[in-house]
Amino acid sequence: MSNIVRDRFFNGRWTAAHGSVLEVFNPAHPDRVVSRCTTSSPADVDEILQAASEAFRTWRCVPVFERYTALTNFAAAIEAALPDIAQAITLEQGKPLAEARAEAGKALQEARFAFTQCLQPSGAAPMGARPGFRDLVIRRPRGVIAAVTPWNFPILTPMRKIAPALAWGNCIVIKPSEFTPGAVALIADAAAQTLPAGVLQVVNGAAETARSLVGSPRVQGVTFTGSIATGRQVYVAAAESLAELSLELGGKNAAVVHDCDDIDAVASAIMGAAMQCAGQRCTAISRVIVHESLHTPLVNALVQIAEAAVLGDGMLPGMTMGPLTTAAQLDKVEQMVAEGLQAGALLRTGGCRMQPDNAREGRFYAPTILDDVPPSSSVAREEIFGPVLSVLGYDSLEQAIRLVNDVPHGLTSSFFSNDYRAVRNFMEQAQTGMLHVNHGTVPDSHMPFGGIGQSGVGAYSVGASAQAFYTTEHVVYLP
């Protein structure tokens, strides 16, 4: 594993960078260095962007079937590396190996769907408005795309940006999180075997490297996934060159339980969506808004599932939850739970750090259920990004939907009910970009992915809607 992360992937090969040394640690064993690399300096970044600009002039003109063939070969090379990618994810991010494998598999599935998009018709041919003219709308690749990705999904999020960028004829420079660079390094190795030099390039580093990348005038599009606070900084940096933006930001996602036939099944769906990745998902269910008639049995079922979780080193068999990835995130979760309890929430289970026997020094936090959470409290309104569920009660459907919408986020939500009218009300009134009925917040691999409000800016990723970001639109009047 110590050789997986290199310095920078430049023009089809790994080369030296000229920044500071970056060490990557295992969150289950924070004293263990997983790998080291050198971060890219602003000069390194500019050199890579210049190479991307040059590669774009050729890649954008590659015939569509030739491009598609190269991308399918790229996908096959990634598939061959999936065991190593999954291991890198677990060692750097912490999630159990089975979960890392599932993430890698979904990333590849999404990518293969995205690659097919370059084969689909684009543009339009409306009726001409003047005699003797034909009106056309055509689309072209945007250019050089800068991508900055987070640490919670080390392959899924990068591939969600790489695949559509390349499919529509762009070149891309990606900066993975400084906490989880290993998976992207292995993606670059696959690119070295299958793609032209300069089409996909990688820089490593932290905030300084990201600022050099997204603020460069050589960049035509900036795509970022992460927190709202960092998203605002990316927005400002990209504004200098007026680059197109696609920001996927945080969520404070609610599951409304209005009525149900099987309370255990509902609890299982909620907990699956809430506790995957130790709750470190932008789409994680963080709030449960439950009708008072179901409040007590649902909380009991949630507690039972939470207490059955097996925490530990994700490389060991039988683990169902890994550690939080960073020390800062563990501190934040602990602080927010304390604030919730101080505000009047009731602790039903969890609420403390854990020391599993196989990783006693790791950054583990117990799956936590907070009940009767005041709607105005921070745990009810702010993203926690940890294994914490806040339960709120309601009497009327109007009140429930008001609680769903009473946050600045608008990413995703779930609604559990057999009442058709109630479902219709939820579909029409819930202010989130993605809405799930009678299941957890798990998106499909071909559907648009994104949010409204402070959860997103620009076109949604995945699916045909991503074309609006990765291509530019041109109107042609042809006599």
Residues involved in catalysis: 248, 282
Phi-psi category of residue 460: left, alpha or beta, with phi > 0 → left and psi -120 to 50 → alpha: beta
CA distance 392 to 374: 7
Q: Are 189 and 85 in contact (CB under 8 A)?
A: no
CA distance 4 to 426: 46
* 394: β partners: 291
Residue 267 per-residue DSSP state: H
**The two structure tokens encoding residue 356:** 């599993």
CA distance 351 to 370: 8
Q: Name residues whose C-beta falls within 8 Å of residue 294's C-beta, 6 or more positions apart in sequence.
A: 257, 259, 260, 263
* 221: β partners: 145, 244
Beta-strand runs (E) in 398-470: 412-416, 434-437, 456-457
Residue 383 burial by Cβ neighbours in a 10 Å radius (0-12, 13-18, 19+):
buried
Q: Are 454 and 409 in contact (CB under 8 A)?
A: yes
Q: Are strands 471-478 and 134-141 parallel, antiparallel or unpaired?
A: antiparallel
What number of other Cβ atoms are within 10 A of residue 473's Cβ? 13
- The DSSP code sequence of 4-30 is T--SEEETTEEE---S-EEEEEETTEE
- Longest Cα separation, the chain: 80
Cα distances (Å, whole numbers) of residue 385 to 203, 318, 330, 337: 26, 23, 9, 12
**Helices (H), ranges, 4-118:** 42-59, 64-80, 82-93, 97-116
Q: Are 138 and 474 in contact (CB under 8 A)?
A: yes
CA distance 227 to 235: 12
Q: Which helix (H) or strand (E) holds 235?
A: helix 228-239
